[in-house]
Amino acid sequence: MQHEIPPLFIEGNSVEDIHDIKGFEHYAQNKLPMNIATFFSGGAGDEITLEENVSAFDRLKLVPRVLKNVEKRSLSTTVLDQNINFPLLIAPMAFQQLAHPEGEMAMAKAAHEHNIMIVLSTLSTFSFREIRVNSNVSSWFQLYIYKDREITKNLVQLAEKAGYKGIVLTVDAPLYGKRVKELYNPLTLPSGLEVKNLQDAGLDLKGISTAKLPSYLASLLDPSISWNDITWLRSVTSLPIILKGVMNPKDIKIAIEHNIDAIIISNHGGRQLDTSLSSIDTLKFIRDSVEGKLEIILDGGIRKGIDILKALALGAKAVMVGRPILWGLAAGGEEGVKRVLTILKSELDLAMALCGYTSISQINEEILFFPNK
Ligand SMILES: Cc1cc2nc3c(=O)[nH]c(=O)nc-3n(C[C@H](O)[C@H](O)[C@H](O)COP(=O)(O)O)c2cc1C
């Protein structure tokens, strides 16, 4: 359903006048320069997975329970023993200063205010140290494995030293996906924008112009990464390892054999392999393979609190949210991200109550309609 989005930021208007994630998307897409809007919102290939991530949530229907006294409710939960006020983490996303000058710093402060966790991208524009010094937010560090293992090791160890509590290894990007819209509207980074984590870890960017940086960084990814690198990663850090981008039951089995602490069911927001299964359908497909042996987080297509409820009903411990955070940043920096989080939290609270639940631990698959059962 299309609804009227109020004209924003005319006099007297603020992010408080935006009431859903679609409103933030609409605003950000109109405000941002074309190539940045494309970089944020676009996906791989024909964007089949990108669209399915969202529509598969809507196809999954609810059969709520009633008369359960839902007057008093709590949304708090834990992810790998970290307490959070509601089951949401902010997904790692590169170059957040493209959305707002305060970039990841604003995102981290908003997350801290809500007492949820963030995953900071290797390609953040504020360094992991700057984020830790300026915000007490509970955080994991997202890692890409680069051909240069020394730089990769330095990244991990600097993050550990800075107080990050987990390493999220992205495993669905041995190569950069074919993002067709980006090819027509290439991302050129404005001068002054830096990838400080990589520079702190020893990457020499002499002779690489900011404009050429995105493609140069993509060329550093190591396509030879394999399960052997998990063993290597364990040898350089004592932090929990979380694999982001696992989708196949066979890989889940191998992850369990490698004592992985948690997996993130993710198709990279539809940015890597087009026509891969939507995130929520993947969760349905793989959940029996997990056998309760590791925690599951899901990302891709979360745009409403109801989506979070459905992911939890299928067995996810929490969800991660990507683009809505960038749209919030673009609309209003820290206040914009806070508002996005408030909307998702209050929508989840309402959905939970309308399904007869008063706590996160009660949520289960009895409220999901499976037509073939
Ligand atoms: C602009 C943008 C940049 C991203 N950068 C990274 C990254 O640096 N590392 C990573 O593991 N995933 C990255 N992702 C993927 C997200 O972590 C996440 O998997 C995805 O955005 C979730 O889907 P959603 O945007 O529909 O919520 C990025 C996504 C976007 C939209």
Question: pLDDT of the chain along its 373 residues, tens only?
Answer: 555 555 555 556 799 999 999 999 999 999 999 999 999 999 999 999 999 999 999 999 999 999 999 999 999 999 999 999 999 999 999 999 999 999 999 999 999 999 999 999 999 999 999 999 899 999 999 999 999 999 999 999 999 999 999 999 999 999 999 999 999 999 988 888 889 999 999 999 999 988 889 899 999 999 999 999 999 999 999 999 999 999 999 999 999 999 999 999 999 999 999 999 999 999 999 999 998 999 999 999 999 999 999 999 999 999 999 999 999 999 999 999 999 999 999 999 999 999 999 999 999 999 999 987 6
What pLDDT, on the 0 to 100 scale, is given for residue 268? 98
Q: Element (H or E) spanning 296, and its range?
A: strand 295-299
The Cα–Cα gap between 219 and 242 comes to 24
What pLDDT, on the 0 to 100 scale, is given for residue 154? 98
Nearest CA to ligand 1 atom 19: 268
Please work out, in degrees rounded to the nearest 5, the angle formed at the alpha carbon of residue 317 by the alpha carbons of 122 and 304. Answer: 80
Could you please report the per-residue DSSP string of 40-106? HH--STT-HHHHHHHHHHHHSEE----SS--SS-B--EEETTEEESSSEEEPP-S-GGGT-TTHHHH
What pLDDT, on the 0 to 100 scale, is given for residue 13? 77
What pLDDT, on the 0 to 100 scale, is given for residue 273? 98
The Cα–Cα gap between 160 and 162 comes to 5
Nearest CA to ligand 1 atom 21: 322
The Cα–Cα gap between 230 and 209 comes to 33
This model's pTM is above 0.95: yes
To test ligand 1's pocket by mutation, which of 29, 271, 276 has the most ligand atoms within 8 angstroms of CB?
Answer: 271
The Cα–Cα gap between 127 and 121 comes to 9
> For 191-207, b where at least 16 C-beta lie within 10 A, e where not — what string?
eeebbebbebbebeeee
CA 326 to ligand 1 centroid distance, Å: 10
In Å, how far are 138, 141, 338 from 100, measured between CA atoms? 22, 21, 14
Nearest CA to ligand 1 atom 15: 268
For residue 264, which phi and psi values (nearest 5 degrees)? -110, 110
What pLDDT, on the 0 to 100 scale, is given for residue 101? 95
The terminus-to-terminus CA distance of the chain in angstroms comes to 29
What is the tally of structural domains in the chain? 1
CA 357 to ligand 1 centroid distance, Å: 31
User: Tokens 């602490």 correspond to what residue?
Assistant: 261
CA 121 to ligand 1 centroid distance, Å: 9
Query: Would you name the residues annotated as active-site residues?
Result: 268
Nearest CA to ligand 1 atom 20: 269
The CA radius of gyration of the chain, in Å to the nearest whole number, is 20
Residue 10, domain member (yes or no): no
Could you please report the per-residue DSSP string of 342-359? HHHHHHHHHHHHHTT-SB
The Cα–Cα gap between 141 and 163 comes to 10
What pLDDT, on the 0 to 100 scale, is given for residue 102? 96
Residue 28, domain member (yes or no): yes
Residue 373, domain member (yes or no): no
Nearest CA to ligand 1 atom 6: 93
What pLDDT, on the 0 to 100 scale, is given for residue 188? 86
Please check whether residue 203 is in contact with residue 276, taking contact to mean a CB–CB distance below 8 angstroms. no
CA 323 to ligand 1 centroid distance, Å: 7
Question: 298: helix, coil or strand?
Answer: strand
Residue 335, domain member (yes or no): yes
The Cα–Cα gap between 89 and 212 comes to 31
Residue 221, domain member (yes or no): yes
Pairing of strands 368-369, 61-62: antiparallel
What pLDDT, on the 0 to 100 scale, is given for residue 163? 96
Residues with CB under 6 A from ligand 1: 39-40, 53, 91-94, 121, 123, 142, 170, 244, 266, 268-269, 271, 299-302, 321-323
Residue 141, domain member (yes or no): yes
CA 40 to ligand 1 centroid distance, Å: 9
What pLDDT, on the 0 to 100 scale, is given for residue 287? 94
Residue 200, domain member (yes or no): yes
Q: Count other C-beta atoms under 10 Å from residue 34's C-beta.
A: 11
Residue 9, domain member (yes or no): no
To test ligand 1's pocket by mutation, which of 268, 297, 326 has the most ligand atoms within 8 angstroms of CB?
Answer: 268
Ligand 1 atom at minimal distance to the Cα of residue 300: 23
Nearest CA to ligand 1 atom 27: 322
Please check whether residue 53 is in contact with residue 300, taking contact to mean a CB–CB distance below 8 angstroms. yes
What pLDDT, on the 0 to 100 scale, is given for residue 12? 64
Ligand 1 atom at minimal distance to the Cα of residue 54: 26
Ligand 1 atom at minimal distance to the Cα of residue 119: 17
Ligand 1 atom at minimal distance to the Cα of residue 173: 11
What pLDDT, on the 0 to 100 scale, is given for residue 209? 87
Q: Which long-range contacts (CB under 8 A, 24 or more apart) does 65-69 make?
A: 65/355, 65/356, 65/357, 65/366, 65/367, 66/356, 67/356, 68/356, 68/357, 68/358, 69/358
Question: 190: helix, coil or strand?
Answer: coil
CA 41 to ligand 1 centroid distance, Å: 10
Pairing of strands 77-79, 82-84: antiparallel
The Cα–Cα gap between 127 and 195 comes to 8
Q: Name the residue among 295, 250, 235, 245 with its Cα closest to residue 271.
A: 245
Task: State which residues form the domain around 192.
Answer: 15-359
For residue 274, the domain's CATH number is: 3.20.20.70
